[in-house]
């Protein structure tokens, strides 16, 4: 469906009890009820929502994103009770994780209830579910009911962390866009498979492995679990701008500075205009044409929040290649490294496949 207009509600700075806020949520819920698509902010990235009981709307999610049909969607709900209704089983680990981290950036994969559409689960026997913390997302699912919502980007592009990113990718396809400013976490939720033992991280994200292990005991990281312990979505190329991304690996500033200088020198010698997406201590390296800051190296949470917007900004800036770097792998660093390496075309799991 191509539309001429999208209804944009700018909610930044408007209190939740203000009639304009309440009305925006009501209009969005009505559009969803009629089978429309609504883009809304979450604490991680903007989502493209459809009601889980509107098959036509679910189909259009895949169409407008250009998303493969076998890549299932996350169901967003407003609490543990609502989550249990889309699951066939609710093990103790689900209760513990939900109590510790919901509302928040973690998605639980559990056996699906029979009424959940195959369009949501991609035909799997499991369903992914989470309770978002962002106020607009939470209020919307509370009003409209459970929403299936992938990130609101064209498939393969960097995820949207601002309303402008959603408009740039999908403006033609959505009925209502709720704008509540930039997302605070900036990388997607952690996807945790609770149908396996130990619980297995399928996608690193906003809640770290260390945080999970404090509550659940040992948790397997991506690639450590059984062969099929991957989210279907992680098989596809992801998060990629239209220009190539070149990532330098290292876990301290001195090491990174030397490797980045070397890489930039080579690229410039080859006639390329280089955009650098890096911690602020690495600004001003010789040879770069554009620079976007990921904030202080010691604050990876800030880097996560700036990452996707930075990729998009450099992509638009006319450079030939974007050079970036990894972070120390603990905490949110695991999610940053996963996204930046995928943006560079590394689909992950390579070392895992080689073992076979
Ligand atoms: O933070 C987030 O999770 C955002 C916001 C909007 O909530 N959503 C998001 O959705 O990132 P999406 O569709 O871009 O990514 C969902 C990931 C995919 O990798 C998908 O394969 C995986 O979750 N997934 C969904 N259902 C699954 C299932 N039943 N089993 C395993 N993986 C599943
Ligand atoms: Mg996505």
DSSP 189-205: PEEEETTSSS-EEEE--
Q: Which atom of ligand 1 is nearest to the CA of 188?
A: 1
- How close is the Cα of 299 to the center of ligand 1, in Å? 26
Ligand 2 centre from 161 Cα, in Å?
A: 12
**Nearest listed ligand to the Cα of residue 131:** 1
**Residue closest by Cα to atom 17 of ligand 1:** 233
Peptide bond before 288: cis, by omega within 30 degrees of 0?
no
Dist. CA 196–CA 313, nearest whole Å: 39
Q: Which residues line ligand 1 (CB under 6 A)?
A: 42, 44-45, 47, 71-74, 105, 107, 109, 121, 124, 126-128, 149-151, 188-189, 191, 202-203, 231-234
pLDDT band of 350, cuts 50, 70, 90? very low
- Give pLDDT, residue 45: 98
Contact 241, 309 (CB under 8 A): no
Q: How far is the CA of 237 from the centre of ligand 2 (A)?
A: 11
Say whether pLDDT at 273 is over 70. yes
**Element (H or E) spanning 127, and its range?**
strand 126-130
Distance 145 CA to ligand 1 centre (A): 18
In angstroms, what is the span from residue 248 Cα to ligand 2's centroid?
Answer: 24
Q: Residues of the chain with pLDDT > 90: what percent?
A: 88
Quick check: 202 and 32 in contact, CB under 8 A?
Answer: no
The average pLDDT across 207-229 equals: 85
Q: Is the pLDDT of residue 352 over 50?
A: no
CA 290: distance to chain centroid?
A: 25
- Measured from the alpha carbon of residue 130, the closest ligand is 1
Pocket test for ligand 1, best of 52, 89, 107, 194 (most atoms within 8 A of CB): 107
What's the pLDDT score for residue 2?
A: 55
- Examine the pLDDT at 351 and tell me if it is beyond 90: no
The pLDDT of residue 354: 25
> Which among 155, 64, 149 has a CA at the least distance from the CA of 107?
149
Ligand 1 centre distance from Cα of residue 128 (Å) = 7
CA 149 to ligand 1: nearest atom = 6
Q: How far is the CA of 191 from the centre of ligand 1 (A)?
A: 7
Query: Which residues lie near ion ligand 2 (Cβ < 5 Å)?
Result: 151
Residues 81, 86: Cα–Cα separation, whole Å = 9
């Amino acid at each position: 469906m191509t539309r001429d207009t999208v209804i944009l509600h700018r909610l930044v700075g408007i209190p939740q009890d203000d009639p304009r806020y309440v009305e925006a949520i009501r209009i969005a819920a009505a559009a969803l009820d009629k089978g429309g698509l609504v883009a809304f902010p979450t604490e991680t990235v903007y989502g493209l929502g459809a009601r889980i009981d509107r098959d036509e709307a679910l189909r259009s999610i895949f169409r407008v994103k250009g998303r493969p049909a076998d890549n299932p969607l996350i169901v967003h709900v407003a609490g543990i009770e609502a989550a249990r209704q889309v699951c066939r089983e609710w093990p103790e680990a689900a209760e513990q994780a939900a109590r510790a981290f919901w509302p928040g950036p973690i998605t639980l994969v559990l056996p699906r209830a029979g009424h959940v559409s195959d369009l949501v689960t991609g035909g799997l026997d499991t369903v992914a579910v989470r309770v978002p913390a962002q106020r607009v997302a939470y209020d919307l699912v509370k009003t409209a009911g459970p929403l299936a919502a992938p990130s609101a980007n064209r498939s393969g592009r960097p995820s949207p962390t601002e309303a402008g990113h959603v408009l740039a990718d999908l403006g033609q396809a959505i009925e209502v866009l709720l704008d509540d400013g930039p997302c605070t976490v900036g990388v997607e939720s952690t996807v945790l498979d609770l149908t396996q033992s130990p619980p297995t991280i399928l996608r690193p994200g906003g809640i770290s492995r260390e945080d999970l292990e404090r509550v659940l005991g040992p948790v397997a990281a991506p690639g450590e679990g059984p062969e099929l312990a991957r989210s279907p979505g992680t098989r596809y190329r992801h998060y990629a701008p239209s220009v190539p991304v070149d990532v330098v690996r290292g876990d301290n500033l001195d090491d990174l500075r030397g490797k980045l200088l070397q890489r930039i020198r080579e690229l410039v010698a080859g006639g390329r205009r280089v955009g650098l997406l890096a911690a602020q201590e690495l600004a001003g390296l010789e040879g770069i044409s554009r620079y976007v800051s990921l904030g202080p190296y010691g604050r990876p949470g800030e880097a996560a929040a700036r990452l996707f917007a930075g990729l998009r900004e450099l992509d638009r800036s006319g450079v030939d290649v974007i050079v970036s770097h990894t972070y120390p792998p603990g905490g949110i660093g695991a999610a940053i490294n996963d996204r930046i390496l995928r943006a560079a075309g590394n689909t992950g799991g390579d070392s895992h496949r080689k073992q076979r």
